[in-house]
Amino acid sequence: MKILAIETSCDETAVALVEVKGGLNSPANSGPKFKILKSLVASQIKIHRPFGGVVPNLAKREHLKNLPILFGKLQLTIHNLQPNLVAVTVGPGLEPCLWTGINFAKEIKNQFASWRKKTKIIGVSHLEGHLYSFLLNPKSKIKFPAVALIVSGGHTILILMKDLTHLKKLGETRDDAVGECFDKVARLLNLSYPGGPEIEKIAKKGDEEAINFPRPMLNQKNYDLSFSGLKTSVLYYLRDSKIQTDQVADIAASFQKAAFDVLIKKTLRAVKEFKAKSIIVAGGVAANKTLAKMFKKAIKKDNLRLNLIIPETKFCTDNAAMIAASAYLNFLQNKKYKLVANSGLNFK
């Protein structure tokens, strides 16, 4: 089957064309196998950078402009590559941006009579897109049960996966998402937007033990997380001490270490409790190579036999191929989301 996917939930306009076969088993066992024919992303970073964050109306305007251009680049016609499904993100995200994608999906379905008849539109959760992005790599070796950590600009969630489709939310952040915290701390340090990659880069030059920032909720016996206190303690540190420019790297490294210590400790606690055989880390913050290194080190230290699965960097940050992957699982399960923007959509 061929899936055309559209993603416009935040500040990346993305479309993808994906071919897929297989069922709901794990990929090693006749499960879904994806072939990405095209995956295009038009980044809006330069537009939002002067504002230090995403401006919803500007994002919507850019999606409206970019969608027809990206769609044109797919060079679909009535004759070639008619998709069986048009997959579109319905939430969570910025409502005006979500509507832009949903309306565009409806428009392209209506462009040819044969598409009107045979192509179905299928709504997708952006979070499930991140969760299933690992399926895009045919080499991912998933064994269940698995614990998945979704770390993005809007969410920080721990999920237990009994198999590909049985999901249970174990916990999530009670305040800021970890990506949001990186972006806010980067702003305090006068680094540019988006802050995650900037902090990762400058932290490489710093000493992660230089400042002992708090690790919120580290020892609480639940799977919830919190990052706003960590951000505030960076703010107080900057206010109370006279910072030299060469200390920025130490602050970035110490902040990053504190945030990742919490993510890793909570994830490994879930792994032990539920006897998980794999860890999936997904979402924009999963693009951080220091996080991967720290996870590997902690897994080794605890002598755990685990597959650590992190999607390729281009599939950690927002993209439409992951929306196609998630749409296929929805299709196989007959799982339906209304074609209505749902900014607060989350795992149950």
Residues found near Zn ion in the complex (CB under 5 A): 152, 318
Q: Give the closest residue to 34 by CA, choosing from 21, 17, 15, 23.
A: 21
- Six-digit token string for 73: 């680049």
Is residue 318 a contact point for ligand KG4 (CB under 6 A)?
A: yes
Smallest distance, Zn ion to C-beta of residue 10, A: 7
Cα Rg, the chain, nearest whole Å: 20
* CA dist., res. 147 & res. 159, Å (int): 6
- Beta partners for 322? none
- Does position 196 bind ligand KG4 by CB under 6 A? yes
Q: Is 139 helix (H, G, I), strand (E, B) or coil?
A: coil
176 contact, one of Zn ion, ligand KG4, none, CB 5-8 Å limit per kind: none
Q: Which stretch binds ligand KG4 (CB under 6 A): 31-39, 102-110, 283-291, 338-346?
A: 283-291
**Min dist. Cβ of residue 311 to ligand KG4 (A):** 11
Contact status: 27 vs ligand KG4 (CB under 6 A) = no
- Cβ closer to Zn ion: 208 or 318? 318
For 275: left if phi > 0, alpha if psi spans -120 to 50, otherwise beta; the answer is: left
Q: Are strands 33-43 and 146-151 parallel, antiparallel or unpaired?
A: unpaired
Nearer to ligand KG4, 32 or 284 (CB): 284
Q: Please report how close the Cβ of residue 284 comes to Zn ion at its closest, in angstroms.
A: 6
| Site stretch for ligand KG4 (CB under 6 A), options 33-41, 50-58, 161-169, 281-289 | 281-289
Query: 89 touches which of ligand KG4, Zn ion, none (CB within 5 to 8 A by kind)?
Result: none
Provide, rounded to whole angstroms, the least separation between the CB of residue 247 and ligand KG4.
Answer: 20
* 311 is a contact residue toward ligand KG4 (CB under 6 A): no
Which of 74, 251, 271, 285 is in the footprint of ligand KG4 by CB under 6 A? 285
Q: Which residues of 94-126 are buried (b: 16+ CB within 10 A; e: fewer)?
A: bbbbbbbbbebbeebbeebeebeeebebbbbbb
CB of 54 to ligand KG4, least distance (A): 9
Q: Binding of ligand KG4 at residue 255 (CB under 6 A)?
A: no
- Strand 156-161 to strand 167-172: parallel, antiparallel, or no bridges (unpaired)? antiparallel
Q: How far is CA 216 from the centre of its chain?
A: 22
Subset of 145-164 contacting ligand KG4 (CB under 6 A): 152-154
Least Cβ distance, residue 229 to Zn ion (angstroms): 24
Looking at the chain, how many residues does it have? 348
Q: Which of 3, 5, 10, 159 lies at the binding interface for ligand KG4 (CB under 6 A)?
A: 10
Q: How far apart are CA 341 and CA 90, in angstroms?
A: 5
Q: Is 179 in the site for ligand KG4 (CB under 6 A)?
A: yes
For the CA atoms of 41, 83, 35, 321, what is the dihedral angle to 10 degrees?
30
Q: Which residues in this chain contact ligand KG4 in the complex, by CB under 6 A? A: 10, 152-154, 179-180, 182-183, 194-197, 200, 283-285, 287-288, 317-318
